[in-house]
Structure 1
Amino acid sequence: MVTITVSGLHGVGKTTTAKKLAEKFDLRYVSAGTVFRQMAEEQGMTLEEFSKHVEENPEIDEEIDQRTAKEA
């Protein structure tokens, strides 16, 4: 299995780049942002609330990474 990870600051074109790579190489596109939003919803939190929660609980970043990798 091939996994390509694209990371960067908000608004720099990560999604556009990742989608183009996925299309070009016939790969599945998975977004950590989507996983983040799903987890916020599961916790009944707004994105702002969940962001603060993640800042206070850094182990959640690992869970986001694991879920994203599992989706890929």
Structure 2
Amino acid sequence: MSHFWTLMNDEFGAEYAATLARDHVLGSLGGRTVNEALEQGEPPRAVWDALCDDMDVPAERRLGRNTRVARGAQGGQLGGKP
């Protein structure tokens, strides 16, 4: 679920992501909002894909930003090691 919200915030910005989640109705998910679909157990990936389709998010941006450094990678945060 945290990855879902990271994708939302990265793509739409935190404020607009919250508005979309609350107000945008997804026809492909039975006319539910993002929040309703998630609360009713719809898999986050299915909700994300439906929202991306509705909002015309290009395929190259649907997996998130490529700018984060993985934990443990060079420059990442690894328990006490520089």
Task: Indicate whether the TM-score tops 0.5.
Answer: no
Q: Which structure dedicates a bigger proportion of its chain to helix? A: 1
TM-score under structure 2 normalisation?
0.30
- Structure number with the bigger relative contact order (C-alpha 8 A, sep ≥ 6) is 1
Q: Which structure dedicates a bigger proportion of its chain to strand? A: 2
